[in-house]
Chain A
Amino acid sequence: KAGVTQTPRYLIKTRGQQVTLSCSPISGHRSVSWYQQTPGQGLQFLFEYFSETQRNKGNFPGRFSGRQFSNSRSEMNVSTLELGDSALYLCASSSGGGGSPLHFGNGTRLTVT
Chain B
Amino acid sequence: AQSVSQHNHHVILSEAASLELGCNYSYGGTVNLFWYVQYPGQHLQLLLKYFSGDPLVKGIKGFEAEFIKSKFSFNLRKPSVQWSDTAEYFCAVQNAGGTSYGKLTFGQGTILTVHP
Contact = CB atoms under 8 A, between A and B. Distances in A.
Interface in A32-74: 32-33, 42-45, 47-48, 50, 55-56, 58
B27 interface: no
A33 B102 contact: yes
What is the size category of the interface that chain A forms with chain B? 20 to 34
B103 A48 contact: yes
Interface residues of B, number: 26
B61 to A, nearest CB: 16
Contact of B34 (A58, A90, A101): A101
- The binding surface of chain A is classed by DSSP as strand
A98 B90 contact: no
A90 B106 CA distance: 13
Interface of B: 32, 34, 36, 42-46, 49, 51, 90, 92, 94, 96-97, 99-109
Interface of A: 3-4, 31-33, 42-45, 47-48, 50, 55-56, 58, 90, 92, 94, 96, 98-99, 101-107
